[in-house]
Amino acid sequence: MPFELENTEEDVQDNLDWLYGQEYKAEENQATEALFKWFFFSIPKVQKLFLSKICHVRPTAIPWRTLNLQPRGKSGVPDAALLLADGTKLLFEAKIKQNSISRKQLKRHLKDAGLKRQGIPKAKLPKLILLTPDFREPTKVKSLPAEYRDAIEWVSWMEVMHFLTRLRGLNSGGRMLSKALLLFLKEWIGLKGYSP
């Protein structure tokens, strides 16, 4: 079931119960859902850190406008999409098994988001964040044509979990949220072997 949320105080209050339920059955989708619940309910400072340190988003593109889980594309469904303040579409594709990415799937998501647009000057090109438990960037990403490879930012789940353990200055709610996500990823999704 797709979700779309806006970056407003009202949406945070209206969707507080969303934090506790899992909508998806597939573990891969549950990992993405848990990550974005954490993101959505985190304070803006933490959201900015995640976008800049993990996703390598430029400060001018932050903050974000809308968050979609499982948004429908023309020919595929990425795990999540964030529309950033500068108009950039940031797609997310998460895998929980090593070496399980599909080159066709990555290309399809980027094409659906507008990577191959013709004749649109100054259009913001999409960026895809690929989360995997691999210890090195998957060779399937390295072997993509340059236009696709340049639009993909590979991130290891280990890097995400390390980021969560190093967050400082959180209030008790923020610490609880980060610990809950770490526990969920390690125990429920089975990424324990990739934690710092």
Dump pLDDT digits (tens) for 50-78.
Answer: 999 999 999 888 989 999 988 887 878 88
Residue 1's pLDDT band, with cuts at 50, 70 and 90, is: very low
Whether omega for the bond prior to residue 63 falls within 30 degrees of 0, making it cis, is yes
- Token pair, residue 37, equals 């619940």
Residue 20 confidence (pLDDT) above 80? no
| Sheet (strand 3-6) strand order | 3-6, 64-69, 80-84, 89-94, 127-132, 152-156
CATH fold, domain 3-115+122-194, is Trna Endonuclease; Chain: A, domain 1 (3.40.1350)
157: how many CB neighbours lie within 10 A of its CB? 23
What digits encode the pLDDT tens for the residues 121-175? 556 789 999 999 999 999 999 999 998 999 999 999 999 999 999 999 888 888 8
Please tell me the predicted confidence (pLDDT) of residue 120.
55
C-alpha 31/C-alpha 145 separation (Å) is 28
Residue ranges of domains in the chain: 3-115+122-194
